[in-house]
Structure 1
Amino acid sequence: MNSKRFFFAAMFAVGLVVSNVHAQTSGTKEEAKAMVDAAVDHVKKVGPEKAFKDFTSDAAWKKKDLYVMAYDNKGTVVGHGANEKLIGKNLIEMKDPNGVMVVAELTKTATTKGEGWVDYSWPHPQTKKLEDKSTYVRKLANFEGWVGVGIYR
């Protein structure tokens, strides 16, 4: 009987540790929005070209599993904190496994609403596994495009 209690207590403790580690390495919606706010301000301050380079190469624009991405309104990647190889590629036609046209939806949200959340599936930059993701995007005032930061759910 005592060994059963110990087993369940140990499993509960392991679950708490795993949950705490996940919370420390996973960004929140609030953190994603704050990063978008900072990214928009950075584009205004240093200009689009420099800002997009910074988002791609400067570690200050990567926190936990969050990173800044920037696209023009035609769907071409102009800055990407998780994968520099995407720069210059047009991804407007890209679909996730559920048929969501990810970049088209992100662009539509930014251009028609000014800002908002879009849900889709995307490979996690740390685990490389496909996970559900929500990305917050905002239209840029001084560039025909948008910036976004996504959270894995």
Structure 2
Amino acid sequence: MIKSKIAVLLITGLSMAGSTTAFAADRGSADEATAMLDKAVAHYQSAGADTALADFSATDKGWQDRDLYVFCFDDAGVTVAHGANAKLIGRDLSGLKDADGKEFVMELVSTGKSGGGWVDYRWPNPVSKKIEPKSSVVKSAGDHICGVGIYK
């Protein structure tokens, strides 16, 4: 009887570990976001701004992976590319606030212009459709600031 309870606990624990791994695999990691951003900046530099920005926003060019996608702003906070929501392109998001009231877009722009780094905020996850904590890594690409974020 004790052996059967131990077996049940082990099987339950292993199946939970497997589902955690599957859940983690549905989300991009910080390393994957950084790698995607580096690849995007290299594409921007080699293909030019117009081609790269269009590619980042297209759903068939390979710039989306699970919940990872490339987005770019100009210096004023106007969206020039967005891999998860093309309706944002051309919109001035400089005063946009997240679910907690944080004006994060200009922080993304400022961080990107000052050498790059990570910015935390809350944003709708395109996979889960829920507002979730997000961290985005950003850096300059030509005249724009591009980023890729991870959901936590």
What TM-score do the two structures reach when normalised by structure 2? 0.91
Partner of 1:109: 111
Deviation at 1:13, TM superposition (A): 2.3
Q: Distance in 1 between matches of 2:32 and 2:97?
A: 26
Q: Distance in 2 between matches of 1:18 and 1:100?
A: 33
Q: Which runs of 5+ in 1 are unaligned?
A: none
Partner of 2:42: 41
Deviation at 1:10, TM superposition (A): 3.5
Deviation at 1:11, TM superposition (A): 2.9
Q: Deviations over 1:69-127 (max 9, x none)?
A: 0111111111111111111111111111222112111011112x220000011111101
Letter in 1 for 2:149: G
8 Å contact from structure 2 (residues 99, 131) kept in 1:
no
Letter in 2 for 1:41: A
Q: Distance in 2 between matches of 1:15 and 1:129?
A: 23
Deviation at 1:8, TM superposition (A): 2.8
Letter in 2 for 1:84: A
Identical residues among aligned pairs (%): 41
Deviation at 1:9, TM superposition (A): 2.7
1:81 aligns with 2:45: no
8 Å contact from structure 2 (residues 30, 150) kept in 1:
yes
Deviation at 1:26, TM superposition (A): 1.1
Deviation at 1:4, TM superposition (A): 4.1
SS at match of 1:127: coil
Structure 1 residue ranges, 4+ long, deviating more than 2 angstroms after superposition? 1-11
Q: Distance in 2 between matches of 1:59 and 1:16?
A: 34
Deviation at 1:3, TM superposition (A): 5.6
Partner of 1:123: 124
Partner of 1:21: 22
How well do the aligned residues superpose, as a CA RMSD in angstroms? 1.5
Partner of 1:152: 151
What TM-score do the two structures reach when normalised by structure 1? 0.90
SS at match of 1:60: coil
Q: Distance in 1 between matches of 2:94 and 2:8?
A: 51
More helix by share: 1
SS at match of 2:21: helix
